[in-house]
Structure 1
């Protein structure tokens, strides 16, 4: 072969390889997506066990309690699911009723949020607002009356109770009682002069105390004036109380003075209390009006998406609480998982039993059972009474039904992993089943019906955060947070929130 031909061949190879590289770099990535849809998500535990012969089973309650009923005695023949004994369940029934009531309340709240306020409810709230306005107007008018009354009382106590001790009280007060403390005499005269100006200005101010006036300003003014006049009387009262008869001053006159001062101070206190009480009531009525107006605004605005989503979550939680209460009450009744004959009853009416302590035994005759070791990561989802689908290696895919009858509370270490021996009994006798056969067991531990689900590959988990990638109509991809539920045995993942039915979610991007 000539050198020229070799060079041509090398050039062709380079061109082909370069073209492939170019197109592979510029081609759009291939995106695989699915449509989120409603489906049933089933969570299962799949394990393998061995069929062993069984002569009898020992049954125990899963919770402590007082034996209320005994339905079986030694020698009685029983069938699958028949009640053998029952614990007192008053508290469990009450708990269930409470859970059902809470569910009803949360469901009603959700219905109301989704429906929005009815016109009748808005009309009623408007009446409440109008009533609150009327109540506030009445309280405000009461404040104005109490302030005017305070002025009247204080004007009276000054002019009719103290001016008898002064000459020219309104212009140039001169204290007429002789006391040894000249400074006190001067202070009293100065105070009386200041109070005259205070009363005059207060009276002028009250002429503008009408419906449009800011009562808060008048309340502040009234409180300050009451304090000033109270201080004046606090200075004057000791002087009057220390007076002694002498000259033209008789004991009867002194007693009259003291009575006047006592009455005046009582009137001052009454005025202060009345103004404070009216102010408190007015503020309470104002707060009530604000609350009523805000409630009306909320009714007229309707519920937000966030409120509805939160309430839906509350309803789901209430459903779960109710289901737990149902399960707890059901566990108060001990039922036979198989058909057979009662061979022992180790409890009596009124006895307090402990959980997981065998109390009744049932002979199973020729019935065989399965023993299987379930790892600790799965055992928390398995309960006595759970149903299981069984296939035997000897018969391929022929199905058999069994039920979990007992779970050993003590662990067994297998290859360094804690496991728990679990016993399952076949629901029907079948001559094909033999001791020693290998049983493939599928236990349904959870089931969600008609929920939104996506393939597990669509959910990305990082730092405890679950996200999916959405494929928009224009071909762009956006990422969004989701709340996941159970993971089905088929790889599907329940989506509680974050994905709507019909959304396109990405499961794979081929670069």
Structure 2
């Protein structure tokens, strides 16, 4: 019995000590919560008194407020320009579809896709055997017609025979000569040649294929007379004009170019509310038709503008404003903004350009806040 009683006493003592520790922890937590409430109430009372005193004594409010660490920048006073940025495509005025001008089977295809050729170079040949046979037949008829005409001419000069016989012989010869010229033209057209220097974009016929006049055979693009065409929003009508300066960038090659607007469309597309703008492009290495380009067309410029970063401009019920530094105090300055381009805004009113603007820390200050400029 004594042994069992010893084992029962130990758990009872542990339980008593555990309850005592929990009561002490609870008391301390309650005391901490009370102090926090008292501290909050005291801090609220202090802030309320500071606000009341500041209303009666503004200098007390300034001196009592902690300085805010800031950095400053100055407005930029220089040329400010705005550009309209649109995407355009490189086109060629010599982008043509070459068709056959005579009928027959393709006897030879000399050109392949991507091939660069010179003016007059042979692209394909069409079988002209029937034309050749016709030419041989007409040539024999011409030999006889010439002989008859020459004899009639000699007789006519000797006043032998009639004028009708002479004129018939002459007419026969001339008709055959015209037929021969026509056949030679057809024979020449059986050879398809490049109309100008350029690149064969696509080949649409095969060897042995039968073609007729007008059948598309090659898509051909010239190396010269390139231009860029872009669609510009209708809100820029009257702003963009012929002769305006244009900066062009070709993202695929990294090339840049400065040129001018050569034509402005007179019709607005009803589907996307844009009008066409055409820009001249000189001959350049690596420049290909259908390449994408980015056009920057200048539509506004002020040679003596005051400009600041966009992020410094804030708004409230009074309008746009920024903070400037005067006598180590931040001052709220109402401004009137103008045109914005690439995160920079032109300021029309409110700044002279000589002010120090609050930069880093501009969201932490207010009107008449004490500031400390970081060196």
TM-score strictly above 0.5: no
Report the TM-score, using the length of structure 1 for normalisation.
0.31
Report the TM-score, using the length of structure 2 for normalisation.
0.42
Higher strand share: 2
